[in-house]
Amino acid sequence: MVNRADDDRYRELTRDLDISDNNILQARQRSIDLFTSRRAGLLLHPTSLPGPSESGDLGQEAHRFIDFLVSCGMSVWQTLPLGPTHDDRSPYQCLSVHAGNEQLISLQWLVDRGWLDQHLPPENGVDARKLRRVRLAAARNGFKRHAENGDREAYTKFRDGQSHWLDDYALYMALREDQHHKPWFEWHLPLRNRDPAEISAARKRLAASIEQVCFEQFVFYRQWDELRAHAHERGITLFGDLPIFVAHDSADVWVHRDLFTLNDAGQLEVVAGVPPDYFSETGQRWGNPLYHWERIEADDFNWWIERVRTQLGLFDLVRLDHFRGFEKYWEIPAESETAENGHWVSAPGTKLFYRLYEEFRSLPLVAEDLGVITPEVEAMRRQFAFPGMKILQFAFEGGPSNPYLPHNHELDCVVYTGTHDNDTTAGWFSGLADEQKQYVIEYLGSTGNNMPWPMIRAALMSVSCLSVLPLQDVLGLGSEHRMNIPGRSGNNWQWRFQWDQIPENLDRDLRHLVELYGRIG
């Protein structure tokens, strides 16, 4: 990892920076600070927060979670991607790479500002999302009637400042609702192909719906700005996640069709995924469209620059999901039901990262370098000084040379007991064969009776610059509480916790370990 502690080096990196872009400036400074000392954090997506709505949100409970992190001695909150999801709720298959998930909007925040009626029965049942849409529409009407001049000015500034993506996204969402939620590639041909006359007519016809989407994005970003300010006031670094690929049914693919490998009808010919691995014997067929990298490069990588700019405005540090795919990606014929019949295709990751460094001067990125990692991928990661990832659940196969074992860790990595794709550590351990359990027990020097705490200790004592623990692990929860099972099409991304699950002295016990292993931020 590049030594970022030197102030002169920091001034050199930011010499030509547009100082008016405060969010990116703060992100860059905080990422530099992050890797000059040992840190610890928790992994929790905001949808998993408690609350009366169908999903956790960015309101009071999110602010309370930041305070909980502080009481635990933690200084990092890692989330999953924040974009709007399809009905399966996967944050890795979003409708936009720039927009925020309107399901994360705190309705109470709207009530507190007088934009929404204060009587809010809980959102539950099959009509929860419909009820939320009604409430958000009512909030926009309340905003028009009761917003102060400062709020109105802020809304105008937001619309103007984000118009490069917001105008198309709002139209796409309005059309998607108008088309009964069909994906864009099933719309009638003039809309599918963005015929100028048809698009102009749609903007006029759906003006109210478009305005509603813009209002919701304004509220999301306003709430996130307040949450980020609270996090920074309490010394908490926000750690986000950027998927390498985007969903086929997304505003980005509809608007920038030429940048993706689609046929003339907008249908997929090849799709993204990974070959057979730890998670699946048949590999994972993600189904995302692949990039036309030659066209992206010919446009000086501007699509990627804007995508990264949005993330650096939201987060202090960002995980690059499937980093391996920036060097070579797994291309699968679209008609294949599994990922076994794919092949590797080269990608211009080195050129992309040079261009991003040229644009931003510093990149607070972590490489998700799991799976089949070649020397070329490792060389690219080290070339750009991106910390990698170490998963302790992967450590106990293959003997003492396994790179995930703590004695093989390096400074430039982030260590996890597990991630959102893993079983909880308690569930993982209970599913091991007896001889594997014995190996884990001997290595960790524990009895195995208090798992996952020996794994938590191992993660915190690692030499790695940052240690991140899923909340499920510090709560000692079993397999029924995992966030995602890769390859399963339903019943993922729904886990939530309640405050009464937090043991009385958990914050004290975690703080003791964080202090013991020198990770107090």
Q: Which residue from 421, 417, 419 is spatially nearest to 404, judged by alpha carbons?
A: 417
Burial of 259 (0-12, 13-18, 19+ CB in 10 A): buried
Residue tagged active-site, from 61, 241, 327, 421: 421
Q: Which residue from 103, 124, 354, 125 is spatially nearest to 220, judged by alpha carbons?
A: 103
Length of the chain: 521
Q: Match 């909030």 to its residue by tokens.
A: 139
Residue tagged active-site, from 61, 321, 473, 507: 321
Residue type, 441: I
**Strand ranges, E, within 354-412:** 365-367, 388-391
Q: Which residue from 357, 418, 359, 404 is spatially nearest to 385, judged by alpha carbons?
A: 357
The bridge status of strand 388-391 relative to strand 466-470 is: unpaired
- Contact status, residue 321 vs residue 242, Cβ threshold 8 Å: yes
Q: Which two tokens stand for residue 84?
A: 């709007």
Cβ partners under 8 Å of residue 49, min gap 6: 56, 57, 61, 62, 65, 496, 497
Is 434 one of the catalytic residues?
A: no
- Contact status, residue 179 vs residue 192, Cβ threshold 8 Å: no
Q: Which two tokens stand for residue 365?
A: 């990125």
Is 167 one of the catalytic residues?
A: no
Helices of type H across 185-280: 189-192, 196-205, 207-233, 251-255
Please give the Cα distance from 319 to 365 (Å, whole number).
Answer: 6
Q: Match 């509220």 to its residue by tokens.
A: 219
Residue tagged active-site, from 57, 216, 368, 473: 368
Residue 47: count other Cβ atoms within 10 Å of its Cβ: 25
| C-alpha dist (Å) from residue 277 to 235, 242, 325, 375, 416 | 38, 22, 15, 18, 19
- Contact status, residue 36 vs residue 1, Cβ threshold 8 Å: no
Q: Which two tokens stand for residue 349?
A: 């990751």
Cβ partners under 8 Å of residue 86, min gap 6: 93, 95, 247, 249
> Which amino acids are annotated catalytic?
321, 368, 421
